[in-house]
């Protein structure tokens, strides 16, 4: 399968714990995006990378959130000291070129914070 892969698919954690999600983009895609989606809403932009450089972070991304893409391939999104309000679907997407190109999404990681 050559699509965007996300792991895990589901994560249940207790409030205050740290969680980390992984995204493997389509190979040769140099842009990688993270979005968050809550029930009944459209995906909200969190951050994106051009190769290994993180070029933009949304105001939604508090200090508890950090994303990396160390070698310009896979990316990780870490949430520290999780809160119940962090419960959402976290989506990763990638695109081939710099801008104005279609994004291909993974199946997401569903996070539940108890």
Query: Residue 28 CB, nearest distance to another protein (Å)?
Result: 17
Among 19, 32, 33, 88, binds another protein (CB under 8 A): 33
| Beta-bridge partners for 57 | 47
* 104 belongs to the binding site for another protein (CB under 8 A): yes
The whole-angstrom separation of Cα 16 and Cα 2 is 35
* 2 belongs to the binding site for another protein (CB under 8 A): no
* 42 belongs to the binding site for another protein (CB under 8 A): yes
Ordered DSSP codes for the chain = --S-EEE-SEEEE-TT--EEEEEEPPTT--EEEEEEE-TTS--EEEEEEETTEEEEE-TT--TTEEEE-TTSS-EEEEESS--GGG-EEEEEEEESSSSS---EE---EEEEE-
Output 14 or 27, the one with its CB closest to another protein.
Answer: 27
Among 15, 16, 56, 78, binds another protein (CB under 8 A): 56
Among 21, 25, 48, 77, binds another protein (CB under 8 A): 48
Residues that bind another protein (CB under 8 A): 4, 6, 33, 40-45, 48, 55-56, 91, 93, 98-100, 102-108, 110
């Amino acid at each position: 399968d050559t699509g965007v892969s996300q792991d895990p698919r589901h994560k249940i954690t207790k409030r205050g714990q740290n969680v980390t999600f992984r995204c493997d983009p389509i190979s040769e895609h140099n842009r990688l995006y993270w979005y968050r989606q809550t029930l009944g809403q459209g995906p909200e932009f969190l951050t994106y990378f051009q190769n290994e450089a993180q070029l933009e972070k949304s105001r939604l991304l508090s200090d508890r959130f950090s994303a990396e893409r160390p070698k310009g391939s896979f990316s990780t999104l870490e949430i520290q000291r999780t809160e119940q309000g962090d419960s959402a679907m976290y989506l990763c997407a990638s695109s081939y070129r710099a801008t104005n190109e279609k994004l291909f999404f993974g199946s997401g990681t569903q996070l539940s914070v108890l």
